[in-house]
């Protein structure tokens, strides 16, 4: 080997040593944040309070406030309406001190807005949200439940039933916390509002959308909104042994496109080439859309989430996460291989419906396909339609946006006083947890309040394992009784710590 070759090798070797030192050094420098000070920790729920919360939730689950697909008018929807009325009567009787301390407004017949007026009217109100409605149990799966879905049984340390984690658990925890404070004569300095929608599972158009419009007409600005989204997860984030509190700081948008392919119909015995049939054109168009993924990147809330995870990772992963400047392409690639993490970094493409043909030996003149997109905050509805039009590139395929589309939400300030406060209360209520912001990939009713505030945080303070999360909209939905008690403590601490004027979204400071 010649001298120059050796010199180059030496230089490369030297660079590698430096690179390795930087990469390892950055990983070693990462430290977990110190545990939260306990100075302002408010009392966690007592065993008695926890048991009471469990029996309240049990009663709430027995009220079958089911949201069915829109447009159904049946005995079932009338039964749900009656259950919603019973639910508000249940709140009035189970929470007398809360009911005396607040004013209640009924919106669109069933949704509820409670206002607990603060002593300082100059402070912007805070809005705590949950919803009263639940999704149906898929007919035929009832027998797969360990405890009947609407019996509200308390067994094996759990409260079982539809709505336990989505979303009656947090609703009950809020009410138990507020009831205990009101009964002690507590009055908040800052007004606290509670919005309990009755139609969240079918988009909240009659409930929270109307409440938000009503508040907007009154000129209300909200300091922040707290709604469902992230949770206190255990064993859900791979590589992290400690519980992880995920606070949703943004929410993806929603857009559905219908593709309609046209071609000459006719007898199936003398078909044209498949790509000239309506079905063939549709298949081609849908395949091209699926093969044209949207840009993906680790940025915004997802970047902040990975930064928060990094110190708790085993060394090998810590090495990678601490050096995203170097490993970003690799991490992006890995995240793309898993649907859960892929949804965090890009707009997703989901073909959901197909319709064509009336008979096996007739070529249909028309074929329809539906694709549902969940928009990453970096993409816009207009951009998605352009992207799809470009991918389809066929004048015989009509592209139509279906109703109900919406942009992704803004990203709430992850460094502002409202996030800081939430972070602090989570840290104090769950000292063992790692706290991270994230992007909520499903829709929540909080989006209706975006015109009223810059700060929406999507977090339910209920501890759930991956197994328990599997009950979400599915079989064996349940919540740990202990988790319910922790949530009561969380909401109580939150309600007691809202005095700081800096929380106002329009505060001068
Ligand atoms: Zn929900």
Ligand 1 centre to CA of 364 (Å) is 40
200 is catalytic: yes
**Which one is catalytic: 133, 166, 179, 477?**
133
Ligand 1 centre to CA of 422 (Å) is 20
Q: Give the domain 47-251+409-503 fold.
A: Aminopeptidase (3.40.630)
DSSP state at residue 365: S
Residue 261: strand pairing partners: 367, 397
Ligand 1 centre to CA of 443 (Å) is 9
Residue 195 · residue 222 · CB < 8 Å:
no
Token duo for residue 322: 């601490």
Ligand 1 centre to CA of 132 (Å) is 9
Ligand 1 centre to CA of 134 (Å) is 7
**467 vs 300: CA distance, rounded Å:** 29
* Predicted pLDDT at 148: 97
Question: Which distant-in-sequence residues (6+ apart) come within 8 Å of 399 by Cβ?
Answer: 257, 258, 259, 385, 388, 389, 392
Burial of 114 (0-12, 13-18, 19+ CB in 10 A): buried
**Which one is catalytic: 166, 200, 251, 428?**
200
366 is catalytic: no
Question: For the chain, where do the domains classified as CATH 3.40.630.10 start and end?
Answer: 47-251+409-503
Q: Residue 226 phi/psi, 5° resolution?
A: -115, 125
Question: For the chain, where do the domains classified as CATH 3.30.70.360 start and end?
Answer: 253-401
* Predicted pLDDT at 29: 72
Burial of 421 (0-12, 13-18, 19+ CB in 10 A): buried
Three-class DSSP category at 170 = helix
For 220-238, b/e burial (b = at least 16 CB within 10 A) is bebbbbbbbbbbbbbebbe
Q: Give the domain 253-401 fold.
A: Alpha-Beta Plaits (3.30.70)
Ligand 1 centre to CA of 251 (Å) is 14
* Predicted pLDDT at 449: 97
Nearest to 118 by CA among 406, 498, 428: 498
**224 vs 452: CA distance, rounded Å:** 9
Stretches in the chain below the pLDDT threshold 50: 1, 37-39, 508-509
């Amino acid at each position: 080997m010649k001298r120059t070759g050796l010199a180059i090798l030496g230089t490369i070797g030297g660079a590698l040593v430096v690179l390795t030192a930087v990469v390892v050094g950055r990983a070693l420098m990462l430290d977990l944040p110190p545990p939260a000070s306990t100075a302002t920790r408010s009392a966690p729920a007592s065993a008695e309070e926890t048991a009471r919360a469990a029996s309240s939730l049990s009663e709430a689950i027995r009220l079958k406030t089911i949201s069915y697909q829109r447009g159904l008018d049946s005995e079932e929807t009338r039964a749900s309406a009656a259950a919603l009325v019973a639910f508000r009567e249940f709140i009035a009787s189970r929470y007398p001190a809360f009911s005396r301390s607040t004013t209640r407004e009924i919106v669109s017949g069933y949704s509820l807005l409670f206002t607990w007026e603060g002593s300082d009217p100059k402070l912007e109100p805070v809005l705590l949200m949950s919803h009263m409605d639940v999704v149906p149990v898929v007919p035929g799966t009832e027998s797969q439940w360990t405890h009947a879905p609407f019996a509200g049984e308390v067994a094996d340390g759990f409260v079982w039933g539809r709505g336990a984690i989505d979303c009656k658990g947090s609703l009950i925890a809020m009410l138990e916390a507020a009831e205990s404070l009101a009964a002690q004569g507590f009055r908040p300095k800052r007004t606290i509002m509670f919005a309990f929608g009755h139609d969240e599972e079918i988009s909240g158009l009659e409930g929270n959308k109307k409440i938000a419009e009503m508040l907007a007409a009154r000129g209300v600005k909200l300091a922040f909104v707290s709604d469902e989204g992230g949770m206190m997860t255990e064993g859900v984030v791979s590589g992290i042994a400690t519980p992880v509190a995920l606070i949703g700081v943004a929410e993806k948008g929603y857009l559905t496109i219908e593709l309609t392919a046209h071609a000459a119909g006719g007898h199936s015995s003398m078909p044209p080439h498949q790509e000239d049939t309506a079905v063939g054109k549709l298949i081609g168009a849908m395949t091209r859309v699926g093969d044209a993924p949207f840009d993906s990147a680790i940025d915004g809330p997802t970047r902040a989430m990975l930064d928060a995870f990094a110190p708790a990772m085993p060394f090998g992963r810590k090495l990678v996460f601490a050096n995203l400047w170097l490993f970003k392409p690799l991490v992006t690639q890995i995240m793309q291989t898993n649907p859960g993490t892929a949804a965090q970094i890009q707009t997703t493409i989901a073909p959901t419906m197909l319709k064509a043909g009336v008979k096996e030996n007739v070529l249909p003149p028309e074929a329809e396909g539906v694709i549902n997109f969940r928009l990453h905050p970096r993409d816009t509805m207009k951009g998605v339609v352009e992207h799809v039009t470009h991918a389809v590139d066929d004048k015989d395929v009509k592209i139509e946006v279906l109703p109900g589309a919406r942009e992704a939400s803004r990203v709430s300030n992850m460094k502002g006083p409202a996030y800081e406060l939430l972070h602090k209360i989570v840290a104090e209520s769950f000292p063992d947890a790692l706290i991270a912001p994230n992007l909520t990939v499903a829709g929540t009713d909080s989006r209706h309040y975006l015109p009223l505030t810059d700060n929406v945080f999507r977090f339910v303070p209920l501890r759930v394992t991956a197994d328990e999360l599997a009950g979400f909209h599915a079989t064996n939905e349940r919540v740990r009784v202990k988790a319910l008690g922790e949530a009561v403590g969380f909401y109580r601490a939150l309600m007691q710590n809202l005095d700081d004027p800096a929380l106002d979204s329009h505060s001068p400071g």
